[in-house]
Each structure stands twice: as C-alpha cells, then as structure tokens.
Chains A and B, each alone.
Chain A
Amino acid sequence: MADALTAPHILEYPYTRSVGPVLGAFFGALKERRILGVRTADGRVLVPPQEYDPETGAALDELVEVADAGVVTTWAWVAEPRPKHPLQEPFAFALVRLDGADTALLHAVAAPAMDAMATGMRVRARWRDERSGDITDIVCFEPAP
C-alpha cells in the first residue's frame, strides 16, 4: 500500500490558572473597567503588572491605576482573521502604551481599514458589557480622537 494512514487528533484541555495577588488585582480591576499597572523601585509603571521586577528580581506590589486610553506603539494588520482571533472582521493587533504606563499592552484594535492605523495614534478600550475579570473584559481598543 502506498499511502500512510492519518487520522484527526484533537488536543483539548480545560485548564484553569491561579492568578495570585498581583494578577488577581489586575483582573479584578478589569471587571470594574479599571486598568492597573505595578510600579518598580525606579518609578516605572509596568502594564500588565508583573509580580517581580524584570531587572532586579524584587517583588512588586505597588499597584497604580492607569488610563484606559493610550498610544499605539506598533501594530500589525490582520486582513483575514483566524478563527481564534479576538475579532472576526479585519483588525490590527497592537502594542498600546496606556497613559500613565511605561510599557505597552498587547491587544486588538478595531479600525475600519489598514490605512486607519498608524503608530502614535490614540486608542481607547472598548469594554465588554458583561465582564468576568479577565483580559477579554476589554473587547478591543478603538481609535480615539
């Protein structure tokens, strides 16, 4: 026989992950339509918050609220969304540096077309009506004048 046998194989796991105090606070705030970062010893605000300073390893616990709007620092236009993507019409993945934060958050930006995207543009979070305390409580960001 010429052809080797093949079969579909689905790998599926219903994982849950504990969040701990820092991410727990971050996710809890998302439910309230607030975004938190964490402040490092040298005064930088990291969003999303980290439990430990990436440079010194020190434990971080000083939570700081940042705005739900900010600036796109880079973006990528997805003309043909894939099934698992957060939006199913053409959109951009982007790194968004929220006002008050020193690092950028990765999320989706809903824009009408690729030419509506530009590095440096301002965007604002579109919140989900029913929020559960997760990163998807932000449906996406959208251009904000």
Chain B
Amino acid sequence: MSDPYAVVARPVRLDYTYTAGTASSRFLRAIMQRRLLGSRCPSCAKVYVPLRTSCPTCGVEMGEDVAVSDRGIVTTFCIVNIPFPGMAVKPPFAAASVLLDGADIPIFHLIQEIPAEEVRMGLRVEAVWRPDDEMEPSMESIRHFRPTGEPDAPFERYKDHL
C-alpha cells in the first residue's frame, strides 16, 4: 500500500564556472587597490557602480570608467534579525544601500560600528577596508561601512536615488 504523503529525495548538484566578464573583472581588480570604479553613460551621464558595459537605462555602450569615493550616504537600509548560514556578522545587523560620492546608484553592504537601531537614512559612512594580506577581488575586501561622524546628508541629496 502506498503512502499518499510519501516523498522521494531528488538532490541536484551541478558544477559551474562563473565568469565575471570584462567590466566586473576590471572593477574587482581595482578593488584590490582600494579603488572603486563606476561607468558613466555617454547618453544620460549617470554613473553606475559596479562597472558594466551597457547602460541599463539607455542600452548604449558605457563610456569611460569613473573613480567614485569609498565614502557615501545610507539611502535605505534594513535590520536583519535572523541569522543565516555562513554569515560572519551576528544579528541584529544593518544591511544598507550606500550611495557612494560620485555614483548615481547605491551598492549594498553592511553597516557596523554603530548600534543597528541608530542606522538611519542620510547617515554618512565610509568603507572599512581589510588589511593588505586579506584583500581579494571581491566586495568582501570592504569589511563593512562605518559612520564618518559627518553631519547627515539632507534628504534632497539622495531623494532621487531611493
């Protein structure tokens, strides 16, 4: 007699090679030198971080690389309360969109060195880089962002980047 609630295990494993491509590779190599690069669109003039070869708005080929600051503004954020496997940081922690000075779209990263409940929109933050021997072609080369101590950016400054 069969069990109507029976299940069969169907594990799947596939091995792939991830290729970063030309733009991401250049971006990740620049990170090794603690440089953050964005692409400027020759049509709309917006700067996208990380680098990419096409403008997502215009569909045209991106222009030259633009260096952006490793300081910026928290535009929006969330507080993560649930731990998940592999996370080095213990909850509660703030994960934020950070609009780097010079960029027109934010990147995502962790905010540390401030209680999670004090993280706020407009908070000025700066990257905390790993030491030389821990640098790798990855966003993990930035350990997290921390407050700079500067006055908060006014809403006007980032309201179009939400």
Contacts and interface: CB of A to CB of B under 8 A. Distances in A.
Interface of A: 1, 3-21, 24-25, 27-28, 133-134
Contacts of A3: 25
Contacts of A134: 8
Interface in B2-37: 2-22, 24-26, 28-29
A9 to B, nearest CB: 4
B29 A1 contact: yes
A28 B8 CA distance: 11
B87 interface: no
A6 B22 CA distance: 11
A5 B9 contact: no
Given A4-B19, A4-B20, A28-B3, A17 B12 contact: no
B7 to A, nearest CB: 4
B3 A14 contact: no
B12 A15 contact: yes
Given A9-B16, A11-B13, A11-B14, A18 B7 contact: yes
Given A15-B12, A17-B8, A24 B2 contact: yes
Contacts of A24: 2-4, 6
B1 interface: yes
Contacts of B15: 8-11
Given A9-B16, A20-B4, A28-B3, 16 more contacts: A1-B29, A4-B19, A6-B18, A8-B18, A9-B17, A9-B18, A10-B13, A13-B12, A14-B9, A16-B7, A16-B9, A16-B10, A19-B2, A19-B6, A28-B1, A28-B2
